[in-house]
Amino acid sequence: MHLACGDSLYHGRQKQMMLDSDWTDESHYFQAEDNERLREILKEGTFHAVMANPPYITPKDKAANDVYRDLYKTCHKSYSLSVPFMERIFRLAAHSGGFTGQITSNSFMKREFGKKLVEEFFPTVDVTHVIDSSGAYIPGHGTPTVILYGRNRKPMASTVRCIACVKGEPGTPADPSVGLNWTALVDATIGIPHVSEYVSATDTPRESFATHPWSMGTPDALNSIEIISSRRMTLSSFVKAVGASIVTRLDDVFLLPTRTLDRKNLSAQFHREATVGEHIRDWVFEDTLHALWPYNSAANAAETDHSVDKWLWPWRRPLRERVAFGKTQIERGLKWFEYSMPFLERNKSKHIFAYADKATTHNHFVRVDGTLIQDSASVVVLKSDVDDDKAKSILGMLNSSTACFWLKQMSHNKGCLLYTSPSPRD
């Protein structure tokens, strides 16, 4: 048995010759007991087969994060570790066509950090199977997963075996290895293309996997997506901005229930209605809070009155030390009592729609009329030349079943749970 303990993304890379030979140039994170053995075991291009279940988390250690970005060209934005591991797994396989197999988080397929992996790296290797295992019951896997098979060589066949989930496991099987969805996946991997109750297996043109995001579904679903996506008019034609309405980075100080405002006698001049993502449901704000709003009518940070100063003053130190983009509130040229990101121009726009970042069943776009939206939800801000009738039409389309279908096919499923309740409405 050839065993050693180390960082499998860092040790053994040829590019490490550029780094300090003692392996201590970045931090204690990379120190190992037997560097020579690690170099030998993790030498790239030497394995006939590589199998892995890489971690799905984002790198927490800043030194490690920076080095991974330097070593792996696929690392993009706030990437998951599943991304550099995919590149690493292929690189470890023999250059003559070593086999690879991995079960990993499917988040790269639709979230932005997977764009480089899909469009720049995968076209250089022979991905042979893309298997949607998110519907299978796999013990210990709460995160939606995908199974990838491939070989470390240039792409060979013109198609990729794509197995999409039609129906998830109906319950918890006594023996997960013979679960209905899992059994269907195994059969579809080696069988002819077909659509069953649980999976859809097709030999899909390779070019379909060369652009991000990936959409996996039945042939009928993919055909519908192609028809929808071919429309000439897009939402971007009418949108000025999409993103947060406010970011405080200290919500407990700024977002307050009404009873707190009354008890503290906080001036009405400096607060506005606000809500959070979980309260945006069924096209209304189910509940609202109030937010301290330390700005004047000209959208400038305003000197607050005594009641607001009295409330904020005990929090002045953590308010000053809020960090965004690596700088504190003061270093960014903002006053200590301001929001971290107020997006003042967005909040003055005429047509604004809010939607919760997480929803389980359907779209919940709501028209905003002066309400501030905390960053667990986002807003769509329309251009100033969009009239009321057009705005209503856009809102209706966003909440339509067609838009919901498109979003479910093209957006990442964050794995939200449906909560049970004795109330039929809930």
CATH entry 3.40.50.150 includes domain 46-228: yes
Q: Residue 299's pLDDT is what?
A: 65
Tell me 142's DSSP state.
-
Per residue in 9-68, pLDDT (tens digit) is 988 765 444 444 444 444 445 777 788 888 888 899 999 999 999 998 998 888 889 889
Q: What percent of the chain is predicted at pLDDT more than 70?
A: 92
Phi-psi region at 231: left, alpha or beta (left = phi > 0; alpha = psi -120 to 50):
beta
Q: Residue 421's pLDDT is what?
A: 32
Q: Which pTM value belongs to this model? A: 0.72
Q: Residue 406's pLDDT is what?
A: 84
Q: Where are the domains of the chain?
A: 1-43, 46-228, 237-410
Residue-by-residue DSSP string for 32-64: -S-HHHHHHHT-TT-BSEEEE----SPP--HHH
Question: For residue 424, is pLDDT > 50?
Answer: no
Once rounded to an integer, what is the mean pLDDT over residues 73-90? 95
Per residue in 254-311, pLDDT (tens digit) is 998 888 888 888 888 888 999 999 999 999 998 888 899 988 876 677 777 888 889 9
Q: Residue 373's pLDDT is what?
A: 93
* Omega cis (within 30) before 424: no
**Which of 343, 251, 258 is closest to 295 using CA atoms?**
343
Question: For residue 129, is pLDDT > 80?
Answer: yes
**Are 319 and 251 spatial neighbours (Cβ–Cβ below 8 Å)?**
no
